[in-house]
Amino acid sequence: MATAINDLFQITEQLSTDDVPALRFLCSDLITAKSQEKIVDGKGLILELRKASLVEEGDCFILAELLYWIGQNKLLKYMNVTKEMVQEQLQNNNVSRVSPFRKILYEVSQDISSDDLNNMKFLLSDKFGASLENMVKLNDIYDIFTAMEKREMLADNNFEELKKIFGQMSPRLLKKIEDYETHNKGISGDAVQGQLHCHFIIYCMYSISSSWFVSELTVLELKDCDVIPLEGTEYRMASKPRGYCLIFNNLNFERLSTRTGTNADAKALEEVFCWLGFEVKRHDDLKAAEMRAKLEEYGKASHQGKDCFVCCVLSHGEQQCVVGTDGEKVEIKDIVSCFDGKKCPSLVQKPKVFFIQACQGKEFQESVEAQVVRLESDDSGIYRVPVDADVLIGMATVQECLSMRDVRSGTWYIQSLCRQLREGCPRGDDIHSILTKVNEEVSKEEGTIKRIKLAKQIPEPRYTLTKKLVFRVP
């Protein structure tokens, strides 16, 4: 026990004053900006990584990886690993947690002189809208990179402003960026994340479990391996936030009926996905063009440091589409394609989940006996969309049939979905099991539409998931 404490102490004590800002920057996609502000030394870094569940989820290899990237290979001995062992893991097992975007910027930072730094501050002062005095407060190159990111002047798919600056002051640095863009065209930094081998996880957890920043963790035993997903069997779900959850909630239409009851669905979705650790973005009453613009906005955004993406659409629809409040169509295939591997590389190999609350036709699913419930329907057409890997689309009903919406309590499908997520996620149920229970629950519902037609409903999930998807409760 004492050895582990002493080893960690030695690592944190031997980090230089230049190492800590570099490590903090390399972790920018993994921990929140607020947490980064607390990191002033090596001890603070390890504490914040643990708070972000990066250590608790079996990703303690991040400590070895970070030391490797900043060239502090001599400190790896305190973790009983070598430079060669880390290289082998990174090359053969796809376990890197640091994005290529961070790596190239770190590499560039090592070639920036104090004169280069001052030149960058001068060239950026107008664009930042700051005086030279305020620019001096940017202590190092990492502060400049971070400030550029905050102003959307720098991103994993946008180096244009940085290239303009380097073009004026350093052809050498410009070539580094251009070489990176050429080599990494169409490749996501998050596409190479994976799981560690079980023996490596056991070792790392053992090495840190007794240290000063963990409150009485027991040593991980072999029998505990079943709580660590085997490589390739389960999607990672540990980032904070888990990812974006977009909710399009259309209630009032120019030419179509008001979707009374939809606000109950939107509220239920907001609450459950906030509880599951997502950053929820709700948009009410959007026209078709506005919906497309929002989808494109989030499709172009960086999802690095996030493990999942969820999009919920609550609206009327027509054949193969949903509609905006102006009655114009938004093709379902276009909704999904905004987040495919080509348009959104930072979501490659991450689950992309779409819940579509709308009918898929005008046919009724009839029942012999029906309860008297005031229902309406969300007319929609047949849905056929070619989807990429790692996509789940939860449709409210099967092809060519209506889906039911209670004007007081919301739709059968969304209300059941939220209920089953709340019940199943704490148990560790995967999404397939949860949606099966949703099908069972919704299939038992019966009612009438406008007191004339008896109706039933059965939802239909469609997916190309390649692993188990479990929404872990934070």
Q: What fold, for 243-463?
A: Rossmann fold (3.40.50)
**2-97+193-227, which class in CATH?**
mainly alpha
Confidence (pLDDT) at 311 = 96
Q: Is the pLDDT of residue 198 over 80?
A: no
Name residue, tokens 């739709």: 411
Confidence (pLDDT) at 185 = 63
Q: Is the pLDDT of residue 308 over 90?
A: yes
Q: Is the pLDDT of residue 249 over 90?
A: yes
Active site members? 316, 359
**If pLDDT is split at 50, 70 and 90, which confidence band does 51 have?**
confident
Domain residue ranges in the chain: 2-97+193-227, 103-189, 243-463
Confidence (pLDDT) at 58 = 43
H or E segment at 143? helix 141-150
Single out the residue of 101, 119, 111 nearest to residue 159, CA to CA.
101
Within this chain, domains 2-97+193-227 and 243-463 share the same CATH topology? no
pTM for this entry: 0.49
Segment of 107-116, 171-180, 289-298 carrying the highest mean pLDDT: 289-298
Q: Which residues of 140-150 are buried (b: 16+ CB within 10 A; e: fewer)?
A: ebbbbbbbbbe
**If pLDDT is split at 50, 70 and 90, which confidence band does 93 have?**
low
Segment of 123-137, 348-362, 439-453 carrying the highest mean pLDDT: 348-362
Which distant-in-sequence residues (6+ apart) come within 8 Å of 358 by Cβ? 313, 314, 315, 316, 317, 322, 378, 379, 380, 396, 403
Of 190-199, 250-259, 427-436, the poorest mean pLDDT is in: 190-199
Q: Is the pLDDT of residue 354 over 80?
A: yes
Of 69-83, 227-241, 270-284, 428-442, the poorest mean pLDDT is in: 227-241
Q: Is the pLDDT of residue 92 over 80?
A: no
- Strand positions, DSSP E, 295-452: 308-314, 317-318, 321-323, 329-331, 352-357, 374-377, 391-395, 404-406, 410-411, 447-449
Confidence (pLDDT) at 361 = 43
| Assigned CATH for 103-189 | 1.10.533.10
Of 138-142, 200-204, 230-234, 314-318, the poorest mean pLDDT is in: 200-204
Q: Is the pLDDT of residue 190 over 50?
A: no
Cα angle value 382/395/348 (rounded, 5°): 105
| DSSP letter string, 103-116 | HHHHHHHTT--HHH
Confidence (pLDDT) at 306 = 94
pLDDT in tens, 358-410: 754 444 333 333 333 344 445 443 333 334 578 888 665 444 444 444 445 57
Which distant-in-sequence residues (6+ apart) come within 8 Å of 459 by Cβ? 394, 395, 396, 397, 398, 403, 413, 435, 438, 439, 442
Confidence (pLDDT) at 349 = 86
Report the percentage of the chain scoring pLDDT > 90.
34
